[in-house]
Amino acid sequence: MSRYWSDVVRLLTPYVPGEQPQLDKLVKLNTNEFPYPPSERVLEAIAAVSGDELRRYPDPESTRLKQAFARLNGLRPEQVFLGNGSDEVLAHVFQALLRKDFPLLFPDISYSFYPVWCELYSINWCEVPLDPDFAIDPTHYRGENGGIIIPNPNAPTGVLMELDVIRDLLTQNPDSVVVIDEAYIDFGGKSAVCLIEEFDNLLVVQTMSKSWALAGLRVGVAMGSAELIEGLERVKNSFNSYPLDVLAQRAAMAALEDAPYFEAACRRVVASRERLSTKLRELGFQVLPSAANFIMATHPEYPARELFRGLRQRGIIVRYFDRPRIDEYLRISIGTDEDCDALLAAVAELLA
């Protein structure tokens, strides 16, 4: 530890992202990246950006993109907040809306960045156990709290929480902000955005990194009541008043304008997910029901850690979490059908 660090730095346990190895001929199924490139319109929009635009600051409010998200979701622009990927958006959410006297609640198995932000911003938190089938029970979130945040579909399980459960959470907690983190919602769920006009304590966070194939550009969005969004804007403008660069704004606009490509690509990933799940079950795996672009699978006879190592030796990288309740599962991102076939062949070889 450096003697120059502040006390808060000494206490932090940083988030560990998925490995990004720089190897040739690697089947990379560990970070839930979209397996296909973005729409051609995205590449055309980036190529059309001029040098004069790059020497100037971008629009600090990302006005056109904010308006596009509002139209897409039946909202007003003042109900939309944009940032550098959903991680930055969520960091602002923790700072602006979730620092309260009572503890923040989230599932015991969920996005592992949540405890990091709690440590960073000195937020008390309490992990609420998922049911044995990894589902959310809304009755476990009753009582005084400083807010609730839940990924939907959950990560890393992929299990979907239906809208009636979200409605119960909102109804039971009228004085708390309920954040629904929808990074994977486009692969099989219905967005809670439709509940925003009914509940002013609901904030929905999404990203363009997954289903829109823009992980390399970092575009995240939060949607909710104008009051919640104003709180986020106040924090953003006290931290970084120019969050989205010109390329990100133009690329995101172009992606939103090509809905047919987006919808077809998502259907393609869902079809691959269902096919891979079926094939793994035929090999003896138990696969959790997933509404995301990844699956969680366990084999009753073969330790997950050994399978993880065996796959890596064969040039296939998946994600292994050495954590209670899920340490016998592998999380497998959905790649192309060729990627999935390579995984299945390697798994069959390991089991044999």
Measure the CA–CA gap between 35 and 28, rounded to whole angstroms: 10
Q: Residue 338 has what pLDDT?
A: 97
The residue among 172, 175, 244 whose CA lies nearest residue 208 is 244
Residue 150's H or E segment, with its range, is strand 148-151
Residues 179 and 86 sit within 8 Å (Cβ to Cβ): no
Give all domains of the chain, ordered by start, each with its CATH number.
20-38+259-351 (3.90.1150.10), 40-256 (3.40.640.10)
Q: Residue 5 has what pLDDT?
A: 83
pTM exceeding 0.85? yes
Q: Residue 23 has what pLDDT?
A: 60
Measure the CA–CA gap between 226 and 201, rounded to whole angstroms: 11
Contacts of 82 (CB under 8 A, 6+ apart): 62, 65, 66, 69, 89, 219, 220, 221, 243, 244
**The two three-digit tokens of residue 179, written as one number:** 């954040």
DSSP 202-252: EEEEEESSSTTS-TTT--EEEEE-HHHHHHHHHHHTTT-S--S-HHHHHHH
CA distances from 188 to 1, 84, 184 (A): 45, 25, 8
What does each of the 352 residues of the chain score in pLDDT, given as a tens digit?
A: 688 788 888 777 776 776 667 666 789 999 999 999 999 999 999 999 999 999 999 999 999 999 999 999 999 999 999 999 999 999 999 999 999 999 999 999 999 999 999 999 999 999 999 999 999 999 999 989 999 999 999 999 999 999 999 999 999 999 999 999 999 999 999 999 999 999 999 999 999 999 999 999 999 999 999 999 999 999 999 999 999 999 999 999 999 999 999 999 999 999 999 999 999 999 999 999 999 999 999 999 999 999 999 999 999 999 999 999 999 999 999 999 999 999 999 999 999 8
Residues paired with residue 297 on neighbouring β-strands, in sequence order: 287, 330
- φ, ψ for residue 67 (rounded to 5)? -65, -40
Measure the CA–CA gap between 213 and 262, rounded to whole angstroms: 9
* Residue where the block lists tokens 């808060």: 8
In 10 A of CB 245, how many CB atoms?
17
**The two three-digit tokens of residue 65, written as one number:** 């993109």
